[in-house]
Amino acid sequence: MSKEQTKPSESLVQDLLAERRELKVAVERLKLELADAGANAGGPDPRLRERQEEIERLRYQLASARAEVTRLQEERDELRAGIQRALAQLSSEA
């Protein structure tokens, strides 16, 4: 193959450069449209506040449930220890 056959033609290069310029313009136009759409959106989603309140409520419920579980585990352990002491007393008396 000669060098001329491996080089792209001048018109192909010019076409690619023109397409590149068009794409750059399109990208900038879309960036402007995106910024405009964001500005016209009116701020954060109104449901966001409700979701944050729901999350806080659920976190409080979770913390309460964990505290209740801990309390019940301690109570269970105390009862188990009391039963073991009672059984030990019964065995020593027999």
Dump pLDDT digits (tens) for 44-88.
Answer: 777 888 999 999 999 999 999 999 999 999 999 999 999 999 999
**Phi-psi category of residue 43: left, alpha or beta, with phi > 0 → left and psi -120 to 50 → alpha:** left
How far is the C-alpha of 49 from the C-alpha of 36, rounded, in Å? 24
Q: pLDDT-based confidence at 7, cuts 50/70/90?
A: low
Q: pLDDT-based confidence at 1, cuts 50/70/90?
A: very low
Alpha carbon separation from 34 to 2, 24, 47, 90 (Å, rounded) = 49, 15, 22, 80
User: How many secondary structure helices (H) and strands (E) does the chain include?
Assistant: 3, 0
How far is the C-alpha of 23 from the C-alpha of 47, rounded, in Å? 37
Q: Given a cut of 90, is residue 3 above it in pLDDT?
A: no
How far is the C-alpha of 12 from the C-alpha of 16, rounded, in Å? 6
- What percent of the chain is modeled with pLDDT above 70? 88
Q: pLDDT-based confidence at 13, cuts 50/70/90?
A: confident
Task: Answer yes or no: pTM beyond 0.85.
Answer: no
